[in-house]
Amino acid sequence: MKKSALQVARAAYQPKMPKALSGAVKAEFGAATESVANQSEIKELFPNTYGMPIIKFVSTNAKEEASPINVGVILSGGQAPGGHNVISGLFDGIKSVNDKSRLYGFILGPGGLVDHKYMELTADIVDEYRNTGGFDIIGSGRTKLETKEQYDKGLEILKQLNITALVIIGGDDSNTNACVLAEYYAANNTGVQVIGCPKTIDGDLKNEQIETSFGFDTACKVYSEVIGNIQRDCNSARKYWHFIKLMGRSASHIALECALQVQPNICLISEEIEAKNESLDDVVTYIAQIVANRAEKGNNFGTVLIPEGLIEFIPAMKALIAELNDFLAKSKDEFALIKKSAQREYIISKLSKANAEIYASLPEGVARQLSLDRDPHGNVQVSLIETEKLLSDMVAAKLEQWKKEGKFCGKFAAQHHFFGYEGRCAAPSNYDADYCYSLGFTASALIATGKTGYMSSVRNTTAPAENWIAGGIPITMMMNMERRHGEMKPVIQKALVKLDGAPFKAFEAQRAEWAINTAYVYPGPIQYFGPTEVCDQPTKTLTLERQ
Ligand code: FBP
């Protein structure tokens, strides 16, 4: 396969690791843990994996002879830069335990386990993918592991390949799967361990122990580079308002991080809009007012960052979507029989009065997007909803009205962008390359220690890599009960933007100034080689959170 000069140079990069992982390790155990909420329900559902202690790995001189281990690995959900480095860290880790250990990759996500589609990941293959973006080494998928039949089918192939440990690299939903599977395999004395790894560009799989999910750093740096370029263009032509939607299915971490990096004129934070109980019209008025204020100073241009998940956080829309989710889950078959042209009226006739009114008031396209198939985890596919277009159309209508009333004297022309896929498979930044390799290596240490139901954890990552702390966090510790597909289910609690957290506070303190003045910052492209202050900086979010 032909390679670019950067790919060749990058292949030789040796990721930095915590010092503790450089030789033999031993586990230190903390106190028993509790789940973040619904303790009695979670304890009852996970009797074998609840309450386990937090683990920290420290170096030891006593290297013990260990038998080879066969390990399976699954990449699950949306791509995130660094997945290949988790696999290479895991590969090197199990080889350091015993060089006869073997690694198998299940193809195209959890479905590969159930359908027995796999390949052995040998040194040659792994070497081809070190420090590269993407999940193409084995592919990814969104199949939800939730039935006994799936777990048993999976077990068949694990037994056949003599695999005694499975590593699931995924986001909150996939790590929920990992936890359920770990419990099932433990309850049935199968001898198979299950370990999770925190992945998602969305940045919403984090807590006291998991500082960040991998991929967030690189993806935000790619988006910030491109937004910076747009801002230069915008400030050069001075004739467009750019409405930029940013991925992040639920939480607004990506939008917030990009805002901190590029200082746009406007950045919406879904969690704030929900907390203030704002309506769609409130959001539109907020944007239109800033457009009008800038127009008064002769600035008919600007940038608006919009988190992908916004629509679900506007309280009235959230109530509508919740009712739609339950309704579509229950009446899936009946709904499938309704002609496309009659679906809107059909939905309106089935919803409660308040929600039917809101649904009826939505533009045709948005209404249709809200009734599309949910993903396998029951989520609305928000990446398909054109919020950037919806908002700019509504802002244009409001400004038209204000013009008639003499409240707006400027010009308004909009451009639309959606940044998501551009960043999900970028070559991992040094931070993600190092973090992911360490996560994979740590997963191998958890396996060698005989643990199951743990998530690999690497902490203290704003310090130089040698001081990072590697260990494991019981996944049950992150769980609570939530309504999914119309039923209460145990799931990992999503980490939303905290309005009293340092990243939001830093943004809040500066946004009025960014709105009226043109205070753009142009971060430029990710640098892989060069001075550490250019190449090795973590996200502003993480830096502020850890200050
Ligand atoms: P994960 O939570 O699986 O990491 O997915 C992240 C994400 O990129 C979201 O930001 C986005 O909404 C979603 O995946 C889109 O997924 P798909 O391409 O499968 O529609």
Convert 50-101 into a string of H (helix), E (strand) and C (coil).
CCCCCEEEEECCCCCCCCCCEEEEEEECCCCCCHHHHHHHHHHHHHHHCCCC
pLDDT tens for residues 137-179? Answer: 999 999 988 899 999 999 999 999 999 999 999 999 999 999 9
Q: Is residue 236 part of a domain?
A: yes
The pLDDT value recorded for residue 433 is 98
Q: Is residue 85 part of a domain?
A: yes
Output the residue whose Cα is nearest ligand 1's atom 8.
78
- The Cα–Cα gap between 305 and 288 comes to 14
Domain carrying residue 100? 16-215+428-484
In 182-277, DSSP assigns E strands to 193-198, 241-246, 266-267
Structural tokens at position 370: 């809200």
- In this predicted structure, the answer to whether residue 62 has a pLDDT above a threshold of 90 is no
Of the residues 363, 384, 405, the one at which a domain ends: 384
Of 22-31, 106-115, 357-366, 396-405, give the lowest mean pLDDT range. 357-366
pTM for this model (two decimals): 0.93
CB atoms within 10 A of CB 30: 13
CA of 71 to the centre of ligand 1 (A): 26
| Predicted confidence band of residue 378 (pLDDT cuts 50, 70, 90) | low
Q: Is residue 446 part of a domain?
A: yes
Q: Are residues 30 and 115 in the same domain?
A: yes
Output the residue whose Cα is nearest ligand 1's atom 16.
78
CA of 407 to the centre of ligand 1 (A): 40
Q: Is residue 331 part of a domain?
A: yes
Q: Are residues 401 and 470 in the same domain?
A: no
Q: Is residue 125 part of a domain?
A: yes
- The Cα–Cα gap between 254 and 23 comes to 36
Of 233-242, 483-492, 534-543, give the lowest mean pLDDT range. 483-492
Q: Are residues 88 and 154 in the same domain?
A: yes
Mutate to test the pocket of ligand 1, among 140, 202, 218, 246 (most ligand atoms within 8 A of CB): 202
Output the residue whose Cα is nearest ligand 1's atom 6.
78
Structural tokens at position 68: 């080879």
- Residues in CB range of 38: below 8 A, 6 or more apart: 479, 480, 481, 490
Q: Are residues 230 and 331 in the same domain?
A: no
Q: Which atom of ligand 1 is nearest to the CA of 79?
A: 4
Q: Is residue 477 part of a domain?
A: yes
Mutate to test the pocket of ligand 1, among 173, 200, 432 (most ligand atoms within 8 A of CB): 200
The pLDDT value recorded for residue 117 is 98
- Site of tokens 């361990």: 193
* Count of domains observed in the chain: 3
Output the residue whose Cα is nearest ligand 1's atom 1.
78
Q: Which atom of ligand 1 is nearest to the CA of 308?
A: 12
Q: Is residue 541 part of a domain?
A: no
Give CA separation, 201 vs 3, 21, 538, in Å. 25, 26, 14
The pLDDT value recorded for residue 385 is 79
Q: State what percent of residues in the chain have pLDDT above 70.
A: 98
* Mean pLDDT to the nearest integer, 265-284: 95
The pLDDT value recorded for residue 363 is 77
* Mean pLDDT to the nearest integer, 18-47: 94
| Predicted confidence band of residue 61 (pLDDT cuts 50, 70, 90) | confident
- In this predicted structure, the answer to whether residue 40 has a pLDDT above a threshold of 90 is yes
Of the residues 326, 355, 384, the one at which a domain ends: 384
CA of 249 to the centre of ligand 1 (A): 6
What is the torsional sign of CA 136, 142, 147, 149?
negative
Q: Are residues 446 and 417 in the same domain?
A: no
Catalytic residue among 202, 204, 217, 432: 202
Structural tokens at position 328: 């579509």
What is the torsional sign of CA 141, 417, 318, 322?
negative
Structural tokens at position 27: 């586990």
- In this predicted structure, the answer to whether residue 377 has a pLDDT above a threshold of 70 is no
Q: State what percent of residues in the chain have pLDDT above 90.
A: 81
- In this predicted structure, the answer to whether residue 423 has a pLDDT above a threshold of 90 is yes
- Residues in CB range of 149: below 8 A, 6 or more apart: none
CATH number of 417's domain: 3.40.50.460
CA of 227 to the centre of ligand 1 (A): 20
Q: Are residues 175 and 234 in the same domain?
A: no
Output the residue whose Cα is nearest ligand 1's atom 7.
78
Where is mean pLDDT largest: 48-62, 192-206, 310-324, 334-348? 192-206
Q: Taking CB atoms and a 6 Å cutoff, what residues make up the pocket around ligand 1?
A: 77-78, 80, 171, 200-202, 247-249, 308, 381-383, 420, 424
* Mean pLDDT to the nearest integer, 337-342: 86
Output the residue whose Cα is nearest ligand 1's atom 5.
78
pLDDT tens for residues 499-516? Answer: 999 999 999 999 999 999
CATH number of 343's domain: 1.10.10.480
* Mean pLDDT to the nearest integer, 117-125: 98
What is the torsional sign of CA 226, 230, 232, 233?
positive
Q: Are residues 102 and 228 in the same domain?
A: no
Q: Are residues 208 and 231 in the same domain?
A: no
Whole-number average pLDDT of the chain:
94
Of 59-73, 120-134, 414-428, give the lowest mean pLDDT range. 59-73
- Three-state SS sequence of 347-385: HHHHCCHHHHHHHHHCCHHHHHHHCCCCCCCCCCCHHHC
Q: Are residues 55 and 186 in the same domain?
A: yes
Q: Is residue 7 part of a domain?
A: no
The pLDDT value recorded for residue 95 is 96
- The Cα–Cα gap between 154 and 117 comes to 10
Q: Are residues 92 and 165 in the same domain?
A: yes
202 is catalytic: yes
In 181-240, DSSP assigns E strands to 193-198
Q: Are residues 263 and 396 in the same domain?
A: yes
Q: Which atom of ligand 1 is nearest to the CA of 382?
A: 12
Backbone angles phi, psi at 527, to 5 degrees: -110, 135
The pLDDT value recorded for residue 376 is 65
CATH number of 178's domain: 3.40.50.450
Q: Are residues 228 and 281 in the same domain?
A: yes
- In this predicted structure, the answer to whether residue 60 has a pLDDT above a threshold of 90 is no
- In this predicted structure, the answer to whether residue 261 has a pLDDT above a threshold of 90 is yes
